[in-house]
Amino acid sequence: MDFSDRKYKYVIVDAQIDDVNELRLQFDKYPSYNCVGIARNEAEAINLIIDQNPHLVFLNTELGNGLKKSCSFSIIHELRQYIDILPQFIALSTSTDYSYQAIKNGVFDYILKPINHFDLMKSLLRFEKNQPQAASICLKSFTEYRFLLTEDILYLKADNNTTDFYLKDGSMVTCFSTLKNFEIELPNIFVRIHKSYIVNANYITKIHFSKFQCTLKFSNQIIPFSKGLKSRMNAIRDFLRTTSIENQTLSPA
């Protein structure tokens, strides 16, 4: 189990199913990226991006379906009316005809179809290089947006259709999104150990295998883990041993 890589969500906006499948196939080489949706037109794209808050959007400049070929960039303009922080857009096109419009709309990169493996790889490397060193996550909490450093998060707990974030300073933030969304969005150091819990493995101080429980630094909360995930907890224990986490007291399996 790899706990080092960050995870990134991406969306594809393209009506050409063959091109969509080819792009997703190329992403098999990049396990840190997860496709959270495919949109075939402008309306679907706007709703999907608002709902999923992806890091990257692959946008075909030639959506078709009766629309003007260049109109796909209007998605970016429309999104600015609803969200403050836009994802990075990578334009996909069969020609360079729309490269100037892409620049005007602040598109991050421009890749020609059919997509070359090296072009995609270089684009993703540029994207990752530009990401902030201190990982953070944006949450919609009631009527405001909150930004949390992932290193401050102890664990997440599902509560119906909301998720509660418990922080190492003892505070709690409620977000109107399901636990499954954050399982995808958070770095790999966050592990789903129960249907209702995701924990920051860096802060696990004890794993009690016979009781299917673990405890966390900065918290007296006892967190359960599912019986079927014992092998995952073993992997976490081995990871913590190799990284010499301070004050860890891990129970044997």
pLDDT digits (tens, 9 = 90+) for 135-165: 778 887 666 778 888 889 999 999 888 999 9
Residue with tokens 């609803």: 82
Give the least confident one: 93-107, 156-170, 239-253.
Answer: 239-253
Q: What is the pLDDT of residues 32-44, one digit of tens each?
A: 899 999 999 999 9
Q: Indicate the pLDDT class of residue 7, thresholds 50, 70 and 90.
A: confident
Residues 6+ apart with CB under 8 A from 240: 201, 204, 248, 250
Half-sphere exposure of 205 (CA within 13 A, CB side): 11
- Rounded Cα–Cα distance for residues 214 and 72 (Å): 49
Residue 25: pLDDT over 80: yes
Residue 190: pLDDT over 80: yes
Residue 69: pLDDT over 80: no
CA 64 to chain centre: 29
Residue 115 to residues 72, 94, 180, Cα–Cα distance (Å)? 19, 9, 30
93-122: buried (b, 16+ CB within 10 Å) or exposed (e) per residue?
Answer: beeeebeeebeebebbbbbebebeeeebee
Helices 117-129 and 17-26: crossing angle in degrees, nearest 10, is 60
Pick from 77, 82, 87, 84: nearest CA to 53: 87
pLDDT at 141: 66
Farthest-apart Cα atoms in the chain, separation? 64
Go through the domains of the chain in sequence order and give each one's CATH number.
Answer: 8-129 (3.40.50.2300), 136-243 (2.40.50.1020)
- pTM above 0.85? no
Higher pLDDT, 162 or 130: 162
Instruction: Please give the full DSSP string across 108-165, using - where no structure is assigned.
Output: SEEEESSPPHHHHHHHHHHHHHTS-SS-EEEEEETTEEEEEEGGGEEEEEEETTEEEE
pLDDT at 240: 67
pLDDT at 243: 54
Expressed in angstroms, the distance from the first to the final Cα of the chain is 17
Q: Indicate the pLDDT class of residue 53, thresholds 50, 70 and 90.
A: confident
